[in-house]
Structure 1
């Protein structure tokens, strides 16, 4: 899955082939202005710098405990990442702060299952159908994913 332009707004599209998903995500990466009208997306103005690390939180609206991933850091099993005393990050992500790089979220550990690929610099204060479903995570940094 990846966000795509649908008319003058943003929609989430599901793909069977990863190559087609990445092509659609590449196009959406150039459509950042579309997301500015989306109530769940917050984008910096065009030309503004965005942080290089990906930050996820365990509450909506970018609140709560946070986990940061620097560029080119991949976390294959979020259940091994501690969060708030005895809790972990598996299926706990509720919002994502803006990142300059593309990133992928996976429904299962070891980067398996459904993938949600984001290729633009916007925060998601609510994740919709991906809320509480993420078990592994990648901040691609300058490494664009292989098809």
Structure 2
């Protein structure tokens, strides 16, 4: 079982990059985990075309039996404890990869959303596609510490 996190475009701020790298290192000690950064499309001004191009790049990399979860403000919400339970459940799936995907600045098309296994939200707030990368990494690490009874999460 491998967990993946995908996003489009480079991380713009060093402090986010440093935090993501730190949590990636921590998570990597508890599961197989990779991050894939897709090339962004800055020269185009049409949001629908940008989403289409970003999603086409992702479709090319998706494998037939990937379990795909899109991070979207309208998705399911979990507490940290419930997210840990969900990560445990995902580990029991027969799918070889669970792929979490963070959309670009314009999010995802309805078609892309319908092809995902489900949508996941971390807040009722709208977060930038840059910031949610770090928030996701921290929550994934927190989930694995809960699963493995490591000291990090306090109820």
Normalising by structure 2, we get a TM-score of 0.28
Give the number of the structure whose residues are more often helix, by fraction. Answer: 2
Greater strand content:
1
Q: Which has the larger radius of gyration?
A: 2
Question: Quick one: higher RCO (CA 8 Å, sep 6+), 1 or 2?
Answer: 2
TM-score, reference length from structure 1: 0.29
